Amino acid sequence: MSRKILDGIKVLDLTNVLSGPFTTLHLALLGAEVIKVENPKDGDLARKLGIVPGLNKQLMGTSFLAQNCNKLSITLNTKSPEGKELFRKLVKDADVLVENFRPGVMERLGLGYKSLAEINPRLIYCAISGFGQTGPDALKPAYDQIIQGLSGEMAVNGDERLNPLRTGFPVCDTVGGLNAAFAVMAALFHRERTGEGQFIDVALLDSIMPLMGWVAANLLIGGEQPVLMGNDNFTAAPSGTFRTQDGHINIAANKQEQWEAVCEVLEVPELKTDPRFQERDTRKKNRKALTPLLEAKLAQRPTAHWVEALNAKDVPSGDILTLEAALRQPQVQHRKVLQKVPVAGIGEVEVFGLTALFDKTPGSVDTPPPTLGEHNRTIYGALGLSETELSELKTKGVI
C-alpha cells in the first residue's frame, strides 16, 4: 500500500463552514490525522447548512458532507477550565492547528499561538479570517459574498446588463482554503529543515485578489480600467461564448493561426483578410462586428459538430455543460474527480477527492465525514481518560 505524504502528521481542526474545512480536507486527503474539535451542542455550523432538511437535523448536512471526509470528530467546550486543559494536552503532540475564528478569539480563551507555542514549539498554527489578523478591517465580520464585493471580483463580472455579479459558488472561501493548505504544507517543509513551528496569517481578501492578476495588471501597469465583457475574453478575439444551432459553444482562438483555422472551419476565408479582423489587436477592437458574422455560420450546425471540427484544427473549443453533465462527463469520470463513500444512516454519497494525482503518494477518500463527537472515546482515551471521566465531562457539558 502506498504511503501518504502526510502520514504521521496530526492536525487539530477548529474550523467551521468552508474556508477552514476546505483547508483541512486537503490535508486529510494527503493522509494527515485531522481531528475536528467541535462545540458539544451542534458542532461545525456546516452540519446544519444544506439543501436537505432531514440531513441538517441529523447534523450531517450536505455542506458538511462535502468537506469533511477522512476526519475524526471530538467535542470540546474550550471555554471551560476542563476543556482548556484537555485542549492543551491535545496540542502537546499536534503538528498543525487550523482555526478560522475572528482575530482575538483564541487569545481571549488563553489558547492563542504564543501560549500554545510554549507548550509545543514545533506547532504550525494557521489562522484564517476575512481580513487577516491586522489592519483597519481585521475585526470586521466577513462571509464569502462580502469578500467578493470588497475584492473587486464582483465588479469585473457580468456585462453592461448585469453588474455587479457574484460568482456562482463561494470562490473566496475555497481559494482562501487552498491558500491556507499551501501555506501549511510550506510551513511543514520549513519545519523539516529547521525544526521550527510558526504562525500563519491567511486572509480571504488577500487570497482572492491575486487571482485577478491579469485584470489587475492591465490597470496597475497599463492604466486600463476593467471593461465589462460578459462571456468574452479580453485577451483575444474570437475568444468567448457564441450561439450555435442548438445552444452555445466556447471558442478560444488566442493565436493568429487559430483565428485563421476558425475561418477555414466556418468557411469564411474572406474574414482572414478583412482589415477589421486581420490583426489580433484590431480584431479585439472590432469583436462586436465579428461575433454576428461567426454566429451566422455557427447557427447552421449543432454545438457537437463545431466542437469536433474546431478541436480537430487545434482550436480550443467546448460545450457549455450543466453542472450535472459536467460531473458525469467521461473525462471527469476517468480522472476519478468524484469518489463514493458510504455514510451510516444516509447511504453512499459522492464527494470530491484529491485532484492532484501523485504517482507515489496518492491521496484518497478513505472514511466518511464523522458524526459529531464520534471519536471522543478514541482520542480522549489515548490521553488516558477513563469511561467514568468521559461520562462526567459529558454531564458537565465539557465534551
Distance CA 390, CA 68 (A): 25
Contact 288, 354 (CB under 8 A): no
Pinpoint the alpha helices (H) of 75-139. Answer: 81-92, 105-108, 113-119
Only one residue has cell 476543556, namely 83
Distance CA 299, CA 2 (A): 51
Pinpoint the alpha helices (H) of 132-279. Answer: 144-150, 171-194, 204-208, 213-220, 256-265
Half-sphere exposure in the Cβ direction for 55 (13 Å, CA):
21
The 198-203 sheet, strands edge to edge: 71-75, 33-38, 10-13, 96-99, 124-129, 198-203
Distance CA 369, CA 345 (A): 12
Q: Give the number of other Cβ atoms within 10 Å of residue 135's Cβ.
A: 13
Cα 174 to Cα 78, 110, 116, 125, 177, distances in angstroms: 27, 29, 27, 19, 5
In the residue annotation, 319 being an active-site residue is answered as no
Cα 258 to Cα 41, 232, 238, distances in angstroms: 59, 16, 9
Pick the catalytic residue: 13, 95, 144, 173?
Answer: 173
Give the residue numbers annotated as catalytic, written as ranges.
173
